[in-house]
Chain A
Amino acid sequence: MPPACGAALAAKRLGKDSVAVAFFGEGAANQGTFHESLNLAGLWKLPVIFVCEDNKWAISVDKDHSTAIPCVADRAAAYAMPGIAVARNDALEVFKAAGEAVARARKGGGPTLIEVKTDRYMGHFQGDAEVYRPKGEVDQLRKDDPIPALAGVLRARGLLDDGKDATMHGRVHADVSKAFDFARQSAYPDPREALEHVFA
């Protein structure tokens, strides 16, 4: 979050219309840097958007056991910026809140804190046994997956049909497969490269 404040400051000083965006989880919202960054951004009216992805789990500690208030977006009030809490897994609401935040930042209106409620389907790391998680929780959460939900909205509005859906999925699968192939076929780096790029 602090480097995002700096990037926003640079945009302001250099007269660019760039907006910096920092993403973090609800667990990180209890770090000192969260509060320092919001204060600095609010004080200096920086064109920066802080996006808190609240999936309720910080590795094994759930939000009820880590955070004094239920809504991280409420903390924005203490730092002179709007705090927007987006309903769980609602992509269109995210789009709307982000658009308003970008417009506000570009107009000199300063920062915005957006809290997006969402879900975590997997463990925090490879090999996480997730013993802390209620059995069957993920199966329940998957029923509200935002991707098919968004597809449903787009179909209802006539913006998506089976053909377009298949094309889009095909393109994404091809891109990912290509990236996997590239990674698997690439040689490992020469050990001497470990010593490069410490300094520019």
Chain B
Amino acid sequence: MTAARKLTMAQAIAEAIGQEMERDSTVFVMGEDIAKYGGIFGATGGLLDRFGPERIMDTPISESAFIGAATGAAAEGMRPIAELMFADFFGVCMDQIYNHLAKNTYMSGGSLKLPVVLMTAIGGGYSDAAQHSQCLYGLFAHVPGLKVVVPSNAYDAKGLMIQAIRDDNPVMFFFHKGIMGLPWMAYYEGSTTEVPQDAYTIPFGQARIVREGSDVTIVSLSQMVQKAVLAAAQLEADGIRAEVIDLRTLVPLDVETVLRSVAKTGRLVIADEDYLNFGLSGEIAASIAEHLDRVALKSPVRRLGVPAVPIPYSRPLEQSVIPQVQDIAGACRSMMGVKLARAA
């Protein structure tokens, strides 16, 4: 394998797409502002010059049309990648996603393969307000028929994107704007990593233990992994050893790695940037509850997520509803002395 260099997550995604387009002539990209502009968040930077407008296609502002077209093109033997500029915009095209893309394989009795990658930008933290700041991956993971990938760093993003393009099923690929390494937006340095030049894949359904620890497990994903790592460093100074898990994919979900970790630590904090209610954090907590025969908890499970409010525009208000490093560290500290109620 050729030498690694440091890439931003945006560069890593664009490199993955470019390498797959070179390898497979049926791979192409459609989306708004993805050609000349290179994607508003850089996921297709430089690809138009290399592959031309027939394979790097700017679309009209017609998400239903081009995401539905991806489904049709995939059914006819292509491997389309479509970009939904913001996950928040799914409202204008959800029928094409969850009723057509996600269900047609099942409804055809397995005779139809739909190798579509639908990539989209998520997350807040930069005052883009309630309609441009949501994560929403839990909503897509809720619907059967979609694989859901949520990388936290450049290395994973490249391997998971190549895996997504080669998968014969619809894959939703969510990149958080605050870890893409864009020159015009603050981002977490930990997301810019060494990335091998050669193509490689990362299998879906394999969580990564980012940092080992024995006192408390922090389950996270996407940008929240970077926050959890910073929280774990703070906790270490207090003598608390936190284990940080990056789920990497929600569908399929690696429950086993979470169970093994919590069986070791006895404490679980779920750090999520999606809405708290009826979502990922509840799903992980339920998985623990269903396996209390294997896991002995030392304190109740703690969930961090966005409360049931739209993301505010005002910076201090936004910071207060999205879990921050100190919230994760605080949740871990507060668990250490807590005892469970005992059964009668």
A residues at B contact (CB < 8 Å): 1-11, 13-14, 18, 20, 32-33, 36-37, 39-40, 43, 196-200
Contact = CB atoms under 8 A, between A and B. Distances in A.
Contacts of A9: 69, 72-73, 78
Nearest to A9: B73
B68 A200 contact: no
Interface stretch (B54-62, B123-131, B186-194): B54-62
Chain B: number of interface residues, binned into ranges: 35 or more
Given A1-B68, A6-B68, A36-B64, A197 B76 contact: no
Contact of A14 (B72, B77, B100, B109): B77
Interface string B103-121: 0011011101110000000
A2 B69 contact: yes
Nearest to B110: A197
B67 A2 contact: yes
B117 to A, nearest CB: 14
Across chains A and B, which 9 residue pairs bring their CB atoms closest together, nearest first?
Answer: A2-B68, A6-B72, A3-B72, A6-B69, A197-B110, A10-B76, A36-B65, A6-B73, A36-B62
B159 interface: no
A42 to B, nearest CB: 10
Contacts of B114: 200
Contacts of B26: 13-14
Contacts of A4: 72
Prevailing SS type, chain A contact patch: helix
B68 A3 contact: yes
A40 to B, nearest CB: 4
A198 B70 contact: no
Contacts of B261: none
B74 interface: yes
B169 interface: yes
14 contacts: A3-B100, A5-B68, A6-B70, A9-B78, A13-B54, A13-B78, A33-B65, A39-B60, A39-B65, A43-B60, A197-B106, A198-B145, A199-B105, A200-B112
Contact of B65 (A13, A14, A40, A199): A40
A196 B144 CA distance: 12
Interface string B280-308: 00000000000000000000000000000
Contact of A3 (B71, B105, B106, B169): B71
A57 B8 CA distance: 55
B76 A14 contact: yes
B304 to A, nearest CB: 31
Contacts of A11: 76
A33 B67 CA distance: 11
B66 A40 contact: yes
A30 B112 CA distance: 29
Interface string B153-187: 00000000000000011000000000000000000
Contact of A5 (B69, B95, B113): B69
B84 to A, nearest CB: 14
A9 B79 CA distance: 12
